Structure 1
Amino acid sequence: MASFKKDGNVWRVQVARRGVRLSGSFPTKKAAEAWAVERENEIMKGTYSGAGSRTVADLFDEYAKRVSDGKAGGQWERTRFKAFKKNFPDLAAKLLTETNSHDWGLWRDERLQTVSAGTLIREANLFSAAFHMARREWKWIDKSPMTDMRRPKEPQARDRRISANEEGRLTLALGYAPGNAPETISARVALIVQFAIETAARASEITGLTWDRVHERHFHLDKTKTGVARDVAMSARAREIIEEVRAVTGTQQTVFEVPSASLDALFRKAKKRCGIEDLHFHDTRHEAITRLAKKIDVLDLARMVGHRDLRMLQVYYNESAHDMAAKLG
């Protein structure tokens, strides 16, 4: 017997017959009922083949469960799948055997009305990975419907750096005062910004850093964006920051005791109060790598920041021609 449930803008249906369990998402209850009747008849007649009855939503749910859950960026992937099913219920409800590059071209065009080309490309890469998994390993489909979808041109890499003036204004706006214990989350966010500039660590790596992975002159990251663990050397200032927060959070599990959501929200608010435009937290990585490149060898730098491809350092190294000229004399 099939069961139906309204979930936002879609109807979810589950079918359980003779040990076969299926689920689907549809824009209307009528469409869900028709699908359920057809699947139940196939199961009872013994003609159900499996792959032909799965929807795009089924694929994304399966991928999230079997692949995303084991990845460092799994939460981002699950969020993207959830948003897709909510915003594109008709496409989510389409059978895998019926969706094609035309459907995804329409998705691309509509999505580009609200997001940047970079965001679209990241989402397309995720969805494409799910389709290729379904083709290569799960044998659900013979071809990915996104293979022939035209993708927008890769956007030019950001070269935004943080000036000393901006760093100081953010520190003040976040309520941090040198010499005072960083009792508030806001004050610790200010220290996270400074720590990121000193170490080139990513936001998620810093907020997830635990005391057991902090050593005298370096800290260890076992959960990184690339999935490869690494050790990160600490400058004198980075070690000072660690000691400043130790007095407040030393008995807690994480070093800074700042949830990722709080870091994002407080950074955005402080930036707005300061009137600083076009600045992302990830720009601290550009600033850090540019500064560190003046102090350590390129191979050491690549190892420290987790870049296996040295060409990636060129993306983050954003020294200005004016400053380069000063070195030439």
Structure 2
Amino acid sequence: MKIPKAIQRGDSWRICVNFQNKRHTSTHDTEKEAKEWAARKILELKDASKSSKDEIPQHTYLEAIEYYLKNVTPKKKGARWETLRFRKLIRDNPQLVSKNLLDLKSFDFVKYRDSRIKYVTATTVSREMELLSAVLYCCIRELGWLSASPMTLVARPKLPPPRNRRAYDHEIAAILEACSYKEGAPVYTKSQEVGWSVLFALETAMRMGEITSMTWDNVYIDKMYVHLPDTKNGLTRNIPLSEKAEQLLLQIKGANSPRVLSIESDSLSTLFRKYRNRCEIDDLRFHDLRHEATTRMAQIIQNPADLSKITGHTDINILVNTYYNPTPTEVALRLRKGGVK
């Protein structure tokens, strides 16, 4: 059965699946999302027509989660985070996970969503629901323990606008002082490595894990770039080096081997928060340095496609709408510099 054509209506896309003389329709923000929904729906409807409840083996949701943890989670980059999240879900929701998969209803997940949203952010709830849903689809596609997902029609919480926190010069200066880091001076301690990492992130827009995992055999100072063989989205990436980024690498060269830094991501994250709090800086995260760096780069590299090659974003819209956050004053100065009358 072919995936039907999505029809655009205004700002949304509507798609209809006809199966056994029944129509199933859905509306989405993009054509891609509409087609993905249709593909999932066709699989669900086909499986449901082939199987009856009595033909499917009886398994609990907990069994399914444990299978997923053992066979799927370890293959992911965020395996540690996902494992911790699943363990907490199991611990905090015994009634849900103890249910037989065939007895799960949409309301079980509506109840979970509405209860959880009282204590954590909508983003957190949405991520947890994605995990719960992934387990169910594993049961459908790989195990044959389900014919359809009870979460298909359960709405996710409405997400807040993208974070647009900028890092200001006085905040950076305060954190560097708290780290006992001085530009150009030798880097001996992990605290000083934190300061070094802050400046390198601002120059390269690299993620924390990418910075801490850098090795010297992937640093090409003579060719003015750093090669990242394994990034968050699974793609390789080359980071061009500004003059300051090159100076930072030369400053620390020889301090550690084979890695550029000795500090691990967890320690860097912990120490960054420690010095940020000591400086009484409100709501600044290390990842915000990536936002700041991207916004600064966009003043120079104005082609989003070129900028995405540096930051590693495969979706230009996310790059523009989430990571590029110029102030009105910065835009005004660019207009004046460009001679706009």
What's the TM-score once normalised by structure 2's chain length?
0.77
Q: Following TM superposition, by how much is the alpha carbon of 1:224 offset from its aligned partner in structure 2, in angstroms?
A: 1.4
Counterpart pick for 1:322 among 322, 329, 335: 329
Native 8 Å contact 1:170 1:274 kept in 2:
yes
Q: Deviations over 1:110-156 (max 9, x none)?
A: 22122111111122122212211221232211111222222111210
Instruction: Determine the structure 2 residue equivalent to 1:281.
Output: 286
Is the CA contact 1:188–1:245 (under 8 Å) kept in the aligned structure 2?
no
Specify whether residues 181 and 50 from structure 1 end up closer, same or farther in structure 2 by C-alpha distance, changes over 3 A only. Answer: farther
Shift of 1:327: 2.0
**SS class of match (1:231):** strand
* Cα displacement (A) at 1:178: 2.3
Q: Could you tell me which residue of structure 2 aligns to residue 96 of structure 1? A: 101
- Which of 306, 311, 321 is residue 317 of structure 2 equivalent to? 311
Q: Secondary structure at the match of 1:59?
A: helix
Which of 298, 301, 308 aligns to 2:307? It is: 301
Alignment-mate amino acid for residue 244 of structure 1: Q
The runs of 5 or more residues in structure 2 that have no matched partner are 1-53, 337-341
**Cross-structure match for 1:188:** 193
Equivalent-residue separation in structure 1 for 2:203 and 2:163 (angstroms): 20
Query: Which SS does the other structure have where 1:82 is aligned?
Result: helix
Question: In structure 2, what is the equivalent of residue 37 of structure 1?
Answer: none
The correspondence for 1:85, drawn from 90, 100, 105, is: 90
Structure 1 residue 320, shift from structure 2 partner:
1.0
How many positions carry a matched residue from both structures? 279
Amino acid at match of 1:207: T
Q: CA deviation at 1:51?
A: 5.7
Q: Distance in 1 between matches of 2:260 and 2:66?
A: 34
Q: 8 Å contact 1:52–1:97 — kept in the other structure?
A: no
Residue pair 2:58, 2:145 contacting (<8 A) in 1 also: no
Q: Which residue of 1 aligns with 2:177?
A: 172
| Cα offset, 1:278, TM superposition | 1.4
Distance 1:146 1:204 in 2: 33
Identical amino acids, percent of aligned pairs: 38
User: What SS does the aligned partner of 1:289 have?
Assistant: helix
Runs of 5+ unmatched residues, structure 1: 1-48
- Contact 2:219/2:225, CA 8 A, preserved across alignment: yes
State the distance in 2 between where 1:52 and 1:308 align.
40
- Code of the residue aligned with 2:178 in structure 1: it is A
In the TM superposition, structure 1's runs of 4+ consecutive aligned residues that sit over 4 Å from their partners are none
Secondary structure of the residue that 2:253 maps to in structure 1? helix
Contact 2:179 2:191 in 1 (8 A): yes
Tell me if 1:238 matches 2:251.
Answer: no
Distance 1:56 1:175 in 2: 51
8 Å Cα contact 1:166-1:276 kept in structure 2: yes
Distance of 1:50 and 1:181 partners within structure 2: 69
The secondary structure found in structure 2 opposite 1:220 is strand
What SS does structure 2 have at the residue aligned with 1:232? strand
- 2-structure distance, mates of 1:206, 1:50: 51
Partner of 2:13: none
CA-based RMSD of the aligned residues comes to: 1.8
The aligned counterpart of 2:12 is none
Say which SS state the counterpart of residue 248 (structure 1) adopts. Answer: coil
